Amino acid sequence: MHRRAAPPPDLVRTATRQCGLVDLAQCHDAGLSDKEVRGLVARAGLRRVTRGVLELTAAAPDRADLPARRRRTAWLAMLAFGPDSVAVGPCALALHRVEGLPLTIRPEAALPRASNRRHRDGLLLRQFDDGMDVVEVDGRRTVSVEWALAQAVPELPREYGLAVLDSVLHRRLLDRAGLERAHEAARGRRGVATRHDLWELADHRAESPLESFARLECVEDGIGPHTLQLPLLGRDETVLGRGDLAWRRRDGRWLVAELDGADVHGTPRAVYADRRRQNLFTGTGAVHLLRFTGRDRGHIATTVRRALAA
């Protein structure tokens, strides 16, 4: 009997859509027998991830592609718990392409009448929430953005909670009324008591998670910025750019903090553009500019406070 040397094209397409993962039923739908699946696991780039779920390594996301790696986590839970499962919490936010999640998230899904006894291999199985709103994303069921926020924000570290709320507003996945509905749905959940202020702080002007992290750090230190995305004007009143976070100093000048993420500002072209923009800003005489990267987290508020007092 001829042994398969490679997975069928249909299975490759399915795995690509599902961030590298397939389940046994999808293998069978692609024409593979159990014996052929075992053979491909042994010699052709399939590997078992958990019971009933396999990864096609050629279709797996690059390790540097963190959003895709988080979506893979969501797919892992849904495929492991079967076709009736629903992505929830941070996994649902990942499928909705919300930014601001931690580097890694726990795979979790919900089933009607789920039992805690069905947790396995680090996969978390939740029960359906009463009234949970379910939508379809990438061909599978997931909770709506509102419900995903209600489930995730009480459990996320505070800075990530604010980052996902900012992202939802910035990407127009919800308006302020939708955010309030999510807040109401979150009331009574474990952890929400220390998160209520995040819904009030959420701001559509935040353009990156790093901006959200820095803003919350300063707010919690008592020096929240006066505005976000401050238009910075040249001597001829033309807009030179926008400052991420800004404070009005006692002398009338602005203190502006620029948050540089490696994904956006790490290329040589971006470094040149940032340097040119910084020179334009400071050349007006009306701006004192600070620059931060992700490595400065935890020290941003101290630096801002010193600059404001100088």
Q: Mind listing the pLDDT tens digit for each residue in 82-132?
A: 999 999 999 999 999 999 999 999 999 998 876 555 677 789 998 877 788
Q: What does the alpha-carbon distance between residue 143 and residue 176 come to, in Å, rounded to a whole number? A: 19
pLDDT of amino acid 45: 80
- From CA 74, how far away is CA 20, in angstroms rounded? 12
Per-residue pLDDT, 189: 93
Confidence of residue 265 (pLDDT cuts 50, 70, 90): very low
pLDDT reading at 239 higher than 80 = no
Can you tell me the mean pLDDT for 67-80? 96
Q: Residue 23: what pLDDT?
A: 96
Quick one: what percent of the chain has pLDDT higher than 70?
87
- Its pTM stands at 0.88
Question: Of 225, 206, 107, 214, which is closest to residue 165 (Cα–Cα)?
Answer: 206
Residue 2 confidence (pLDDT): 54
Decide if 91 contacts 105 (C-beta within 8 A): yes
| Radius of gyration for the alpha carbons in the chain, expressed in angstroms and rounded | 23
pLDDT band at residue 199 using 50, 70 and 90 as cut-offs: very high
Give CA–CA dist 171/99, Å, rounded: 9
Confidence category of residue 271, pLDDT binned at 50, 70, 90: very low
Q: What pLDDT score was predicted for residue 302?
A: 97
Q: Is the pLDDT of residue 275 over 60?
A: no
* pLDDT tops 80 at residue 148: yes
234 or 278: which carries more pLDDT confidence?
234
Q: In terms of pLDDT, which residue wins out, 265 or 54?
A: 54
Q: What is the dihedral of CA 260, 238, 226, 157, to 10 degrees?
A: -30
Say whether pLDDT at 21 is over 90: yes
Which pLDDT score is estimated for 168?
98
Residue 215 in this model has a pLDDT that exceeds 70 = yes
pLDDT per position as a tens digit, 150-161: 999 999 999 999
> Which pLDDT belongs to residue 121?
78
